[in-house]
Chains A and B, each alone.
Chain A
């Protein structure tokens, strides 16, 4: 048996590996730089959010591509409940409610945050499962009575069951809990108008229109003004 130490790999092998590694890395970096430069006419920005491309695809209406990106993030980062919740909200936004529900339930298993319950509530409500949605909003409000999305969800449920005063109260609390959102403000205006408080309804629609003057909001505002002037 030889007592000599095993010979290390030949130095030229290391040099070949080094040059190959550097060359490949350079190709990858130049490709990444070129892709962003051609697409955005700018250098890559400062972000390390795995959902950023999915959000971009969702914004431009490429729903299937966005879905694939959201699914990729969830599959790889199985323990990050916040990221999975954001992906769940993204699935919901792109109309993939089954994926959204699965992702949000997965996030809740990791950590039952009120905001995740709220997202799940909205997902279920949009899928027409109102009772389950109400239970999810209630779970969110049990932990955080000021959770704005859950309050807005409860308002919507009251609105659809013609309980306008209760709906208006939930929307008011939701609006007080965070920066006003045009959709919630619009729903608040509808609840107020249906509850017979047209002056407050007009104010709510005016604020909603300032935030996001969609045709629906502007029509509601015009209708409320017309009702009020009669």
Chain B
């Protein structure tokens, strides 16, 4: 999810020196779920109590309820969003067929296409999470009355991209290992450079948001970053730095999915209420949205892969290419449906923002 500029309140209020940020739902909910604070507590608990080995059934259930549903949510959001068919005709009507064509190419040519789809998905995922952290950080800043200049946003964007840079270097079979053939690396020198690069990036991932937060406090309130923005950035960094690359893929996708579902539900419910659905209670819109997302997630991830062997393709190929294609589809859709400029999304962000009087 990414966000770009929206007209924000012009003058800051007198506020607490450090502020949590104006929540969409409730300060605790926004900080823990949308901001990702819950994942920080989880990582702290892991550090104190040792590794967690969830039973396979429990893990797959959590993945369905959160991760698969979050993929469903982006599609449900796309097709339920006001004016999406008119404004985004390729995304709504052309992309599904294009995605199916890519899927067929992936299973038909696993070495030439499928392998690269997997690598693209693994490389793009951390970028997508970085974009979501940036989107949330900007969203809460605007919502909390800050005005971000182009320079503020560039710095914020750079800080949010650091976890992506870290995972790009750390990734095995993806990221830098995908784009640069291993034969190009002199073994010892490359390993040393890579290790040192990861150490530097591992520090910058946390130092940069902290420095930006401190800088924002000195901005006199104009471009103050709320705490939720900082937590969203730090949480994304923790996912990629504190876990190894493949464990990060499990836990980061769960917490990212939780963030995503929460913010999607907020936007969907607010949209529905604004479009005249206020007669129905908010939870009815939320249940309908989540139910549709969950159902779609189940069909895409649990049902679709079983069709592959009927066409003579290995189940493993089908499943892996399905996962890659759904992820890539999701990354593309998200790049469009969360825009704020000239978009109804801006109304939700600005709604109930602090008075600028």
Q: Which of A76-84, A154-162, A165-173 contacts B (4 or more CB under 8 A)?
A: A76-84
In the assembled complex, how far is the CB of residue B294 from the closest CB belonging to chain A, in whole angstroms?
12
A58 CB to nearest B CB, Å: 13
* A25, B96: Cβ atoms closer than 8 Å: yes
Tell me the complex Cα distance, A73–B313, Å: 12
Inter-subunit contact A29/B172 (CB<8 Å)? no
- Looking at chain B's contact residues, is the secondary structure mostly helix, strand, loop, or mixed? helix
Cβ-based interface call for A15 (8 A): yes
Q: Which residues of B contact A29 (CB under 8 A)?
A: 299, 303-304, 307
How distant is the Cα of A46 from the Cα of B294 in the complex, in angstroms? 13
Pick from B155-163, B284-292, B316-324 the stretch touching chain A: B316-324
B357 contacts the other chain (CB 8 A): no
Partner of A48, one of B246, B309, B319: B319
Q: Is B272 an interface residue (CB 8 A)?
A: no
Q: Please, which residues of chain A bring their CB within 8 A of the CB of B63?
A: 46, 48
A20 touches B97 (CB 8 A): yes
* Given known A78-B115, A81-B246, A82-B246, contact A69–B93 (CB-CB < 8 A): no
Are the C-beta atoms of B307 and A31 separated by less than 8 Å?
A: yes
A76-B307 contact given A8-B89, A14-B94, A50-B319, CB 8 Å threshold: no
Instruction: Check A32 against B304 for contact (C-beta < 8 Å).
Output: yes
Establish whether residues A47 and B314, one from each chain, have CB atoms under 8 Å apart when the complex forms: no
Contact, CB under 8 Å: A46 / B302: yes
- Inter-subunit contact B93/A18 (CB<8 Å): yes
> When A33-B303, A35-B310, A72-B110 are in contact, do A17 and B315 touch as well, CB less than 8 Å?
no
CB neighbours (8 Å) of B306 from chain A are 31-33, 35-36, 44
Interface residue B38 (Cβ < 8 Å from any Cβ of A): no
- State A209–B349 Cα separation when bound (angstroms): 65
- Interface-centre pick from A36, A72, A110 (highest chain B CB count, 10 A): A72
Q: Which of B92, B299, B315 contacts A18 (CB 8 A)?
A: B92
Say which size band chain B's interface belongs to.
35 or more
In the complex, whether B6 has a CB less than 8 A from a CB of chain A is no
Distance, CA A70 to CA B317, complexed state (A): 10
A11 part of interface (Cβ distance < 8 Å): yes
Complex alpha-carbon distance, A69 and B246, angstroms? 21
In the complex, what residues of A have CB within 8 A of residue B118's CB?
76-78
Complex interface: chain A residues within 8 A of B321 (CB): 76
Q: Report yes or no: A77 in contact with B320, Cβ–Cβ below 8 A.
A: yes
For residue B252, CB closer than 8 A to chain A, the reply is: no
Check B64 against A46 for contact (C-beta < 8 Å).
Answer: yes
Instruction: Give A203 to B305 CA distance when docked, in angstroms.
Output: 47
Is the beta-carbon distance between A76 and B171 smaller than 8 angstroms?
no
Flag if B60 contacts A47 (CB, 8 Å): yes
Contact B314 A72 (CB under 8 A): yes
A17 and B97 in contact, given A46-B61, A111-B172 (Cβ under 8 angstroms): yes
Which residues of B173-203 are within 8 A (CB) of A? 173-174, 177
- Are B94 and A17 interface neighbours, CB within 8 A? yes
Interface residues of A (CB under 8 A from B): 8-9, 11, 14-15, 17-18, 20-22, 24-25, 28-29, 31-33, 35-36, 44-54, 68-70, 72-73, 75-82, 110-111
A-B CB contact pairs (8 Å), 8 listed: A21-B93, A28-B304, A29-B299, A48-B305, A54-B315, A78-B118, A78-B119, A80-B173
